[in-house]
Structure 1
Amino acid sequence: MKISTKGRYGLTIMIALAKKQGDGPTSLKSIARDNDLSEHYLEQLASPLRNAGLIKSIRGAYGGYVLAREATEITAGDIIRVLEGPITPVEGIEDEEPAKQALWMRIRDAVKDVLDTTTLDDLSHHNDDEPRDAYMFYI
């Protein structure tokens, strides 16, 4: 399973909002500027996140976006499913032989477990000074 820029940038939006939770609305323009991303692309991602009830938009001169729930109640899995669809490493798993089917299901379940047990609160409190390699893995 490969997470596209939709999922990666969606997590960026949500982590930024989690870090600012309680401080009022945050504009996509500021998130785009702080992360060197396209504001237009972030706007496209905000719509499905809003429709899924993960964020709320606030209109006005000091408007922007806020989390719709506490950061402890939103998981990485919630965000990835909204932007990427179902979490599955292989399409057509039901057509595989039983040994391969079992492998794909174990991989799917492991990925789901990580995504569904990692909250926005966890991600927003990650120590940015910690080496990135500590969280990387290779298959």
Structure 2
Amino acid sequence: MAALSSKAIYGLAAMHVLAHAPRSRAMQVREISAMTQISHGYLEQLLSILRRNNLVSSIRGASGGYKLARLAHEIEVIEIIEALEGPFYKIEGNIGSSLILEYFWNDIEEKMRTLFSMKLSELDQAYQPHFYEI
């Protein structure tokens, strides 16, 4: 995977919205769609994949919808990405005859995994805008 596709980006957006829903309340697809600006049909596809990967659960009925399958502090961003994209950033094939290049690619993979191992619940705290007083 060289870059994240819209699948991963939109899937993370949907999971972020679900992380902010009250734990006892499931959100309907139309609500999530309105909050994320993701089309209803595409969002249903993403939520289906996330459900099959045990990241969200679905509830049937008039008050049904989707909610996180686990608490937001138990879900890593990389889990969401891998559920939607497949295995994360594996360098395969001939990576060069140099041991230095092998170390380089392994280091890059480790750094990317570390970056995306952030918990879903940590996104808001990590990226709060910093306002400075004048």
TM-score (structure 1 length as normaliser): 0.83
Quote the Cα distance in structure 2 between the aligned partners of 1:63 and 1:126: 29
Q: CA RMSD in A?
A: 1.9
SS at match of 2:82: helix
Matched pairs, number = 128
For residue 43 of structure 2, what is the aligned residue in structure 1? 42
| Pair 1:10 & 2:11 matched | yes
For residue 119 of structure 1, what is the aligned residue in structure 2? 119
Is the Cα contact below 8 Å between 1:56 and 1:65 reproduced in 2? yes
Q: Which of the two has higher C-alpha Rg?
A: 2
CA-CA distance at 1:128 after TM superposition: 7.3
Identity score, percent: 35
CA-CA distance at 1:91 after TM superposition: 3.7
SS at match of 1:72: helix
TM-score (structure 2 length as normaliser): 0.86
Is the Cα contact below 8 Å between 1:21 and 1:66 reproduced in 2? no
Show structure 2 runs of 5+ residues with no match: none
Name whichever of 76-85 and 19-28 sits farther off: 19-28
| Pair 1:56 & 2:57 matched | yes
Runs of 4+ in 1 over 6 A off after TM superposition: none
